[in-house]
Amino acid sequence: MEKVLNWGLLSTARINRSLIKPLNASKRTRLLAVASRSQSTADAYAQEWNIPRAHGSYEALLNDPEIDVIYNSLPNHLHAEWTIKALRAGKHVLCEKPITVSLEELDAMIAASKETGNVLAEAFMYRHHAQTLKVKEIVDAGTLGKIQLIKGAFTFTLTREDNYRNFKDMGGGSIWDIGCYPISYARMLVGAEPLEVFGWQVQGPSGSDESFIGQMKFENGVHAQFDCGFKSPPRSYMEIVGSEAILKIPTPFKPGPKSEIELIRAGNSEIIKIKGQEVYLGEVEDMCDAITKNKPPRVSLADSRGNISTILALLESAREGKKVSF
């Protein structure tokens, strides 16, 4: 019988709510503990979400001998420090995206994973969903012809001015928080890294980008365009333009158990219906496979490194006002 893995939540971040349901639903996982910087906060959170153990410090969670897996949902600037500590404490780590905001930190995290033999993966939940796998299948099969253009967007209105997403020194900025999705999606479809990028940004009071518009040029004449931001109405989509057909994905990043994509060829529209699972369950099951079956995580650390490299190049382009080549 396969081992049930005990999970611990590193922080009481809002994003935890998306993982609690699949952790409780999976037969291979048990949500055993949560940690906060204060015992009272941890106790209240544990009571609210029916979590057996509450730790009043992050260190206490890492020192809990029964915890197998840590979900790191701390603000971006704390991902590297606490992921490395968790790996060295003998825990596997699912780290919320973006896995970090610098290549130096990411390389240190990768090194810690290799040294300890513990699994580290970035939590890009959409990558595990049946809709994403179907889109990739359609593109790879040549159904659209030669891929010419990939377009995407992810925006929402961030109303909490004190939110860490607004602060550059906390790893904030719209490209790190949500622009990472269309960037990741385009790279996944092409199956390669961009050759050059160009970006524009609108900066907020702290110096982080409130909105970002970017372009990526890949080999074989494939181009990608995206925008992201905290000051626009909620919108998300991906569109793939090929020489023979167009594929539209209206809910690419948070598809539901039932979703639809649209294939347009010669002016005719075909709706493709896809039955999938709850969107966050995939990353939980993928982590279990990596730990108990030694399967490579679907989102590899090389893939994560490519995404971080692309984002950093786009930010450099926006600062310098010129394209950045790789």
Using a pLDDT cut of 90, give the percent of the chain over it: 90
Q: Which residues contact 254 (CB under 8 A, 6 or more apart)?
A: 125, 126, 236, 279
Q: What is the pLDDT of residue 169?
A: 66
Residue type, 183: I
Q: What is the pLDDT of residue 165?
A: 72
Q: What is the pLDDT of residue 166?
A: 64
Q: What is the pLDDT of residue 159?
A: 77
Q: What is the pLDDT of residue 15?
A: 94
DSSP 98: S
Question: Where exactly does CATH 3.40.50.720 map onto the chain?
Answer: 5-123
> Which pLDDT tens digit goes with each residue over 13-55?
999 999 999 999 999 999 999 999 999 999 999 999 999 999 9
- Which residue ranges of the chain lie beneath pLDDT 70? 1, 162-164, 166-167, 169-170
Active site (annotated) includes residue 97? yes
CATH class of 126-281+308-325: alpha beta
pTM for the complete prediction? 0.95
Q: What is the pLDDT of residue 164?
A: 63
DSSP 288: H
Considering 21, 27, 85, 97, which one is annotated as catalytic? 97
Q: Which residues contact 243 (CB under 8 A, 6 or more apart)?
A: 144, 145, 146, 148
Q: Which residues contact 23 (CB under 8 A, 6 or more apart)?
A: 7, 29, 30, 31, 284
DSSP-based helix, strand, coil % in the chain, nearest 5:
40, 30, 30
Peptide bond into 257 cis (omega under 30): no
Question: Where exactly does CATH 3.30.360.10 map onto the chain?
Answer: 126-281+308-325
Q: What is the pLDDT of residue 207?
A: 84
Say whether domain 5-123 belongs to CATH 3.40.50.720.
yes
The separation between the first and the last C-alpha atoms of the chain, rounded to the nearest angstrom, is 48
